[in-house]
Amino acid sequence: MNGKAKEVKHKWIFLAAVTAFGFIADIATKYLAVTRLEERRPVNVLGEYLQWVLVYNTGAVFGTKPPGFFSWMNPSVFLSIFMLFAISFLIVYYKSLKKDEVLMHVGLALVLPGAFGNLFDRLFYGERGVVDFIRMGFPPDSYWFIYNVADIFVTAGVTAMLINFIMEAVRKKPTAEAGAAEAAAEPAPESDNVKKETDAETAG
């Protein structure tokens, strides 16, 4: 240990590598799901607790739908536009990160390949929808939303960023409390009247 804080070196190479790996993993697994699975026919992996189930999702992450006030717009078009803005914002935010904000670098780098993977499906297979094929839960009816590898990357990235925010809040709290304690311990300055009375008594 040399006492130096951990830093992300070559942040753009790191981002490109994680994004490329995640994007390729997502596209490859979706291709295998489409070519090897029958739509809506479960294949047990760990009994009925983990299954491959091919579905085509025209909603957002985990099958959620766009807000009702955008009901006039095709969901794939709405979500594609939204994701393009989100990706642009994430890249700009990533650029602003300091080198020692390691967990934020990791979180954003994980979110991007997930966003690119699902955006790819929406742009090139808009009518079909995004390929989802992973189902987990407890049979017969207690299952989570069916998802894909891109969703895993997004969830992992968001989790990393939330952990970072919590750690930052915990780290700053003792500093704020120490500052408040120091301020309370400092003697209050004497008012001019009190000072004059003190001087007069001393002179008398």
Q: Active site includes 132?
A: yes
The DSSP string of the chain is --SPPP--SSHHHHHHHHHHHHHHHHHHHHHHHHHH--BT--EEEETTTEEEEEEEE-SSGGG----GGGTTS-HHHHHHHHHHHHHHHHHHHHHH--TT-HHHHHHHHHHHHHHHHHHHHHHHSTTT-EEEEEEEEETTTEEPPPB-HHHHHHHHHHHHHHHHHHHHHHHHHHHHHHHHHHHHHSPPPPPHHHHHHHHHHHH-
Catalytic residue (choose from 26, 151, 192, 199): 151
Catalytic residue (choose from 26, 132, 141, 199): 132
Q: Active site includes 199?
A: no
**Active-site residue list:** 132, 151
